[in-house]
Chain A
Amino acid sequence: MRKLSTVILLALVAGCAKEGGSPQALTADDLAFQKTLQEEFLDAKPGTVIEIPAGLHALDRVLTLRANGVTIRGVGSGKSILSFKNEVSGPEGMLVYANDFTLEHVAIEDSKGDGLKINDGENITIRDVRVEWTGGPKTTNGAYGIYPVRSKNILIEDSAAIGASDAGIYVGQSHNVIVRRNRAEKNVAGIEIENTIGADVYENTATGNTGGILVFNMPNLAQAGESTRVFHNKSLANNLDNFAAKGAAVASVPAGSGVVINSNPKVEIFDNDIADNQTANVIISSYFSTNYYNRPGVDPKYDPYPRAIYVYGNRFHGGGDSPDGVELKALKVSMFGLNGHFPDVLWDGYQDSKNLVNGLPPAAERICVQNGVEVLNADGPDKYSHPKVDTASFQCELPKLAAIELPNS
């Protein structure tokens, strides 16, 4: 008997030691909350409303939703907080595979991977949601804050994304999107619209990111994006050092970029306040400038050129005075002097040489910059050897794009 109790005692001691070293830091209350919430996610049906009460709720694994027609509602993005600081299984904070989904008045903090990922959903509403990495910008933060992908009819409004190591608000491979009245700060890319068809991005504020608002097309994906309107936004002082891991799509974005268009056709940029972005307030570029192009790795059908880009009626101020990267710095100093600055629009100069007419693309595919705003053609194809400032080549107009209408807006 004595022997047996010794064994039990030893086991108890071992058990205590184990517990101290356990990766779980959740309290019993947090664990109980998580279990109940997980069950609500499992049991959700069309019409279910899952309430997130006020408080800081620590969770250690991803919340996954697969039921259509569900609303998840907190009492405010500053009050109902889901914290994934101790996450052991994820990597997302919330992962949604569902249609007719609404998430509102909730914060998602410190997930190991993306904060909120919505994959293959239709009629998605994100309202007053804050996704934040609370330790500030770090390469080890999750990639995307608010991330709908391969989805349709998406409304993201009155939300915030802070500290993402890739893009704060990232809409990928989707259709029919409105992103409005949001705040994006301290991300590598504030707001990024990628391979998406039909997006209106307006009344947002992007500040303190590496790049403010991006419209990109990446190769090899199921759809090429087009038709994005960026208007009534503020893209201010996005000068944060690029902290993305190398190889990530946004790692090529120079710090100090206000609005960046890369390889994406039919983009309209108007009536924005774009200021104090130290590389350039607007950058128009091709996939060739990202340094990711290689023949075996890129679908030959991929179109790497920005076409039909229309920039007009914006209010520019400052910027272009301290570009990121050795080549751009040298270019700025040689053309504009130590105290000079780039013009408001920087174009890398890559264009589809196959369809030029008198040196210009066909009327429907031109880059048009109005209101006397100067464009620097950086002459990327010839290694920046013959850059020039130009306005005349960009004096043109393009048909205006239609407004996006959503069933859920």
Chain B
Amino acid sequence: MNRSRSLPVYGLVLLIAALAVGACAREARPPHFFPNGRPEKLSDWQMVYADGGRLALNTGVVAYDLNTPLFSDYAHKLRTVWMPAGMAAKYDADATFDFPVGTVITKTFYYPLPKGAARSATAVARTYDQSADFVDHVSGTSGLNLSQVHLIETRVLVRREQGWDALPYVWNAAQTEAELSRTGDVMPLELVSDDGSREAFTYVVPNENQCAGCHVVDLKTKTIAPIGPKARHLNREFVYANGSANQLVRWTELGYLTGAPTSATAPRNANWRDTTQPINARARAYLDINCGHCHNPKGPANTTSLDLTVSAPADRHLGMCKPPVAAGRGTGDHFMDIVPGKPDDSILPYRMTSSEPGVMMPEQGRNTTHHEGVALIREWIAEWPGDCIS
């Protein structure tokens, strides 16, 4: 609640801060790996930092994007990776790359500001358009334009000797610094669409243990790992400052990746929004990144035996005609996870459509409904042949 009380002065503070910082450009320190502990400020890491009117990336900090991203209440995300000099990740065709100790990955959640409206503490745009986000309008590498976006949180995943640690940082109202918030945060926001319609919702920053809710790779060993930096998610073009290149190729050139095959032979998930690609590939990519981190044979949702990773066989393992196990009221009075040809009779789109804890899936990471994602999965189920009798 303190947070929302401090918000009204936000605009003024931002203005002053922007003027002050703009007047004397800071001297960037190199990125820093902390082998232990929890630095209080995001800028302690020097991966990304507010620098005048932009969220800047430090030298050697590389932005990247995924073929199909996790839905997070329509937030845009700036992802970066950095490794100490001379270190590289080892390629893996299926699992998260084997990153060296010292790797720091950041993911900044932000929203573009609504078009034509005065900057407000809580109103953010609901849009897929990223063109106004970046300083040079093209490349994530150029940094985020803070006059066009509102920063919410930056999550840091750091590879230490004993494994990965997850640290959530929440941006201050002035957008000058993000502070460690181990217990997460809850903030009221309002999504504003291009047509002016508005949807109020509660944005939830996860606490450290909730981070593991998605990032735990193996329930038995309790190890956690990044989800995005896998071959199938990264195998795509990215616009760098000096032009477009495949991310696997560029990471290899930069010395951040060894052992990668050509991009043509590496696995590649579909871009869920690319309607030129087959609906099955788009839907499977969407389920893979949104659900597969829990719904896999070693993940927290293995209690349900529902496997939504991209490699799951397209039968009862993927939910076809499968009676639910522990859905409780999440069934929505439906009898099977997926009924081929019948999205209205299927539990999957029902739980995706809900934004009510106890019903909705995923269980965390969103508090709004991803309408376009639901539409994709419904279309996919509608086109699925077969029935649940034969």
Contacts and interface: CB of A to CB of B under 8 A. Distances in A.
Interface of A: 4, 7-8, 11-12, 14-15, 18-19, 21-24, 28, 31, 34-35, 38-39, 41-42, 60-62, 64-66, 87-91, 95, 97, 111-114, 119-120, 139-144, 147, 149-150, 165-166, 170, 172-173, 218-222, 244-249, 251, 292, 294-299
Given A89-B357, A90-B363, A165 B329 contact: yes
A182 to B, nearest CB: 20
Given A97-B222, A249-B325, A88 B202 contact: yes
B315 interface: yes
B37 to A, nearest CB: 13
Contacts of B121: 11, 14-15, 18
Contacts of B219: 97, 119-120, 150
A191 to B, nearest CB: 16
Contact of B329 (A14, A140, A296): A140
Contacts of B323: 218-220, 247, 249, 292, 294, 297-298
A221 B1 contact: no
Contacts of A220: 305, 316, 322-323, 325
Given A66-B222, A119-B300, A22 B329 contact: no
A54 B210 CA distance: 26
Interface string B353-373: 000111010011001000000
Contacts of B213: 64, 95
Contacts of A7: 11-12
Contacts of A24: 1, 186, 202
Nearest to A170: B326
B314 to A, nearest CB: 11
Closest A-B pairs by Cβ, 7 of them: A143-B328, A297-B321, A247-B331, A64-B209, A112-B358, A112-B357, A91-B357
B322 A297 contact: yes
B26 interface: no
Contacts of A21: 188, 200
Contacts of A219: 323
Nearest to B300: A119
Contacts of A296: 315-316, 320-321, 386, 388, 390
A246 B336 CA distance: 10
B327 interface: yes
A255 to B, nearest CB: 18
Contact of B333 (A66, A87, A245, A297): A245
A248 B329 contact: yes
Contact of A246 (B122, B216, B303, B333): B333
B8 A12 contact: yes
6 contacts: A14-B8, A24-B202, A62-B210, A89-B210, A244-B328, A247-B327
A294 B4 contact: no
B4 A15 contact: yes
A105 to B, nearest CB: 23
B34 interface: no
B202 A143 contact: no
B332 interface: yes
A42 B300 CA distance: 19
Contact of A11 (B8, B305, B320): B8
Contacts of B356: 112
Contacts of A35: 183
A119 B209 CA distance: 14
A67 to B, nearest CB: 9
B69 interface: no
Contacts of B363: 90-91, 113
B357 A221 contact: no
Given A62-B210, A97-B219, A246-B334, A172 B303 contact: yes
